[in-house]
A and B are shown apart, each in its own frame.
Chain A
């Protein structure tokens, strides 16, 4: 009944094609359909095992690589953080230049000089610095030649 309907439809539409119907010009190699179920089973088996392999040899190592990379970066980051220089060190030449400059500067800008030698702490006021009077005199006499302006007897008093 189903075929009759289809054939009638074709006859009405394209009668030339009805005559050609029923022949299959294609063919397959001998015993193809007998062996096809086995080929399909083999392919199913191989895709199942490759899916397992994917998990075993590719998926898991991928996770391991990601985890190891994260841990390695964290470790290296921590290592560099610990070993990061906390101060800027000067080269020997820079240090010498800086000392010379400081010595020269101290002759003119006493307060600023103290600021510098007190680690640039500008909030530190001179009034907060407590110097022993003997220390001051000792310093002046030893390093600045300031005693030359003293009256000789005053210097003798000092000594």
Chain B
């Protein structure tokens, strides 16, 4: 699937008789990246599955208006981040719980998640990441796991590269400290 560039996929979507086929190729190209980005934010597989499907439904609905200059990958990550944050916020609102309690809930879910197979040190690392403030957590995940450039992150999060760099540095130090001391 990877041999189709974003431009080719968009060309195929807009100008072929079968946009469904083109969109299917787009899903196959990006589904895993989008899934893991969301999964690291919401932890639970079922929640992630729902969010990922919503992300691609939104992409389908808005692909006609998509302007190619921002990059398909950046655009999808942006939708995915917003959807994941909206989900977490709605969770907070629904149960009237502050953020640190959502973090506790996610940590507990980590303990019971049948789809988590990390060892103790991996679990500790995930708990350390969950202890970060929301924005720092996203920045850390995008850099540490997805290995995105600050420039790409800047487009996704609409934040300056300098601020992102500072945020990542701060987050990395906190995570390391947490892993050492717990």
Contacts and interface: CB of A to CB of B under 8 A. Distances in A.
B31 A6 contact: no
Interface residues of B, number: 39
Contact of B31 (A16, A21, A33): A33
Given A3-B147, A25-B117, A33 B32 contact: yes
A27 B149 contact: no
Contacts, number: 87
Interface in B93-116: 113, 115-116
Interface residues of A, number: 28
Interface string A2-24: 11001000100111110011011
A145 interface: no
A39 interface: yes
A33 B60 CA distance: 18
Given A17-B176, A40-B56, A26 B116 contact: yes
Interface in B11-32: 20, 24, 27-28, 31-32
B45 interface: yes
Given A6-B143, A20-B125, A23-B122, A13 B57 contact: no
A41 B20 contact: yes
A36 B143 contact: no
A36 B30 CA distance: 11
Contacts of A39: 49, 53
Contacts of A24: 36
A16 B115 contact: no
State the main secondary structure of chain A at its contact with B.
Answer: helix
Interface in A37-94: 37, 39-41, 43-44, 47
A37 B45 CA distance: 16
Nearest to B180: A16
A105 to B, nearest CB: 77
Chain B facing A: main interface SS: helix
Given A21-B144, A25-B116, A36 B27 contact: yes
A36 B52 contact: yes
Interface in B54-103: 56-57, 60
B126 interface: yes
A41 B24 contact: yes
A44 B45 contact: no
Contact of A29 (B56, B115, B179): B115
Contacts of B113: 26
9 tightest A-B contacts by CB?
Answer: A25-B118, A14-B176, A25-B122, A14-B172, A37-B27, A40-B56, A13-B172, A16-B176, A43-B53
Interface of A: 2-3, 6, 10, 13-17, 20-21, 23-29, 32-33, 36-37, 39-41, 43-44, 47
5 contacts: A6-B143, A17-B125, A17-B175, A33-B35, A37-B28
Given A14-B175, A17-B144, A41-B20, 9 more contacts: A13-B169, A14-B172, A16-B179, A20-B179, A25-B118, A25-B119, A36-B53, A39-B49, A40-B31
